[in-house]
Structure 1
Amino acid sequence: MMKSIATAKGLLIDLDGTLYHGHVRIEGADRFIGYLRSNGIPYLYVTNNSSATPEEVASRLVGMGIPAEAEDVCTSAQAAAGHIAETSPGASVFVIGESGLCTALLDAGLHLTEKEPDYVVQGIDRQLTYERAARAVTFIRGGAGSILTNPDLLLPTAGGFMPGAGSIGAMLQAASGVKPTLIGKPSDILMNYALGRLGTLADETWVIGDNVATDIAAGIAAGCGTMLLLTGLTNADNMEHYIEAAGCKPDSICQSLDQLIAELGRRS
């Protein structure tokens, strides 16, 4: 029997490629979130982005006309901080990352240090120096836990692409010989953290996104229903290619956000 998103009791929603492209709102994104709000359907915005705080993410959404508040946002930085705080409360952390990651770690009661950390936590860091990378490798080789916020190899910019958190992580892994614990999509750690925030069970929650290898794979790993939107990376022309490459397939597919609203409208 095919799953139907109409039965969903909660939604975990990707951002880039799902609700916007860069700084441009995708058609229907405002109506989609308005529908969820007016019908009392719980949701969270779930992003692999570790550089921005939830407040900054929400401000960006509002600037594009998409309703958002900081508490609606769940980032890989928050999930990384939560993962460490649950495993080792009050642990010390050496950070390769930006303000969003540092803020999340501090908010979770962890301590930032430059000496002998319990963990090295790494996200995107556009000010990374060779010296800091070398120190991170030394700490990891010395026994510090290695945490990678998200595996994205490329970061889209106005001028093309730049190395993402995953590219930095690949360098640290190669130099240290240690594979990091991955937090963001396609890992289920971020999804399970988001489910805990949302307060719904995995089998009654759907993940919505445009990337089969990250959004859909993470939803499947966490035991959620999955909806692929053909609004971003994946479209009707390349869909079969990406599904085959990812080795997994979504429970359902929608061409647009307005079609998704219609599917949700089938609720009894």
Structure 2
Amino acid sequence: MAERKPIESWLTDMDGVLMHEGIPVPGADTFIKRLRESGKPFLVLTNNSIYTPRDLHARLARIGLDVPVDNIWTSALATAQFLDDQRPGGTAYVIGEAGLTTALHDIGYVLTDHDPDYVVLGETRTYSFEALTKAIRLINAGARFIATNPDETGPSAEGALPATGSVAALITKATGREPYFVGKPNPLMMRAGLNAIGAHSETSAMIGDRMDTDVLAGLEAGMETFLVLTGLTRSEEIELHPFRPSRVVDSIADLVELI
């Protein structure tokens, strides 16, 4: 394997890497502090489209992680950027929360249920049968189907929650139309994030806790990849995948020395 260039910028997943079920992972505060002191470009990423970057900044600050708003990149922001590139000033019927609706408003999209250009599916804790029925009928009538991310489940203190990927599958079953997923593992989200901080893939690294989203997205975007074992992936599961991370570590605390 060719030797990689030194890491000059960092992308890291949030849930399972910096925090787990609302509790900071030991060493995460040191990692973020060292990154900020180094001046190296970095982004904290999440496939969750519920919250705005400002919301996430406040949530992280409450647990002692000081991440500036401009260093937070969500699947909602990536989806909005994608739609702005594809069809500027378009219209969309949206199922989601403030993170997604705010991102679309900010690019000048009109949110409507009358002949929209797109049906955009994001994360919410209150998926309604009425909204899903409306989405299905609009897609059948010709609206293009976009989803913020393919995650089938999300974490909670009580156990797994159905997430965007599962609900997208329901809509696909009813319409025969597959969505275009913008979030991880689509490398589009990673490349857009790298562009946002002026970074290059050959000198960037991605840290994540999931092989099927974080590591795969980093790999396909051409970055060095680190898998931490503080989230969803157990060490014995790594060999089940046909690809490998550049390195496996116990936690983000093991990467502080690399900054």
Describe how 1:118-197 pairs up with structure 2 within 5 A: 118-197=117-196
1:93 aligned residue: 92
Unaligned ranges ≥5, structure 1? none
* 1:196-250 CA distance string (max 9 Å, x none): 111111111111111111100011111111111122223xxx3242x23332111
- Per-residue deviation, 1:126: 2.3
Q: Answer whether contact 2:17 2:251 (CA < 8 A) is retained.
A: no
SS of the residue aligned with 1:253?
strand
Provide the C-alpha distance between the structure 1 equivalents of 2:83 and 2:251, rounded to a whole number of angstroms.
37
Residues matched between the structures, number: 259
Quick one: percent identity of the two aligned structures? Answer: 39
- The answer for the alignment partner of 1:116 in structure 2 is 115
Runs of 4+ in 1 over 6 A off after TM superposition: none
RMSD: 1.5
Confirm or deny: 8 A CA contact 2:92 2:117 kept in the other structure.
yes
2:256 pairs, out of 242, 257, 261, with 261
Per-residue CA distance 1:149-197 (angstroms, 9 max, x = gap): 0111112222222211111111011111111101111111211211111
| Structure 2 unmatched ranges of 5 or more | none
Q: Quick one: which amino acid aligns to residue 13 of structure 1? A: T
Secondary structure in structure 1 of the residue aligned to 2:206: strand
SS of the aligned residue for 2:56 comes to helix
Question: Residue 239 of structure 1 aligns with which residue?
Answer: 235
Question: Judging changes above 3 Å, is the alpha-carbon distance between structure 1 residues 246 and 142 closer, same or farther for their aligned structure 2 residues?
Answer: farther
1:77 equivalenced with 2:73 (yes/no): no
Q: Which amino acid aligns with 1:223?
A: G
Aligned to 1:217: 216
Counterpart of 1:21 in structure 2 is 20
1:83-122 deviation per Cα after TM superposition (whole angstroms, max 9, x unaligned) = 0010000010000111111001111111111111000000
Contact 2:91 2:112 in 1 (8 A): yes
Is the contact made by 1:3 and 1:251 (CA closer than 8 Å) also made in structure 2?
Answer: no
1:252 matched to 2:229: no
> Given that residues 90 and 110 in structure 1 are in contact (C-alpha distance below 8 angstroms), is that contact kept between their aligned partners in structure 2?
yes
- SS of the residue aligned with 2:160? strand
Query: For 2:58 and 2:171, how far apart are their aligned partners in 1?
Result: 32
Kindly indicate whether residue 42 of structure 2 is the aligned counterpart of residue 43 of structure 1. Answer: yes
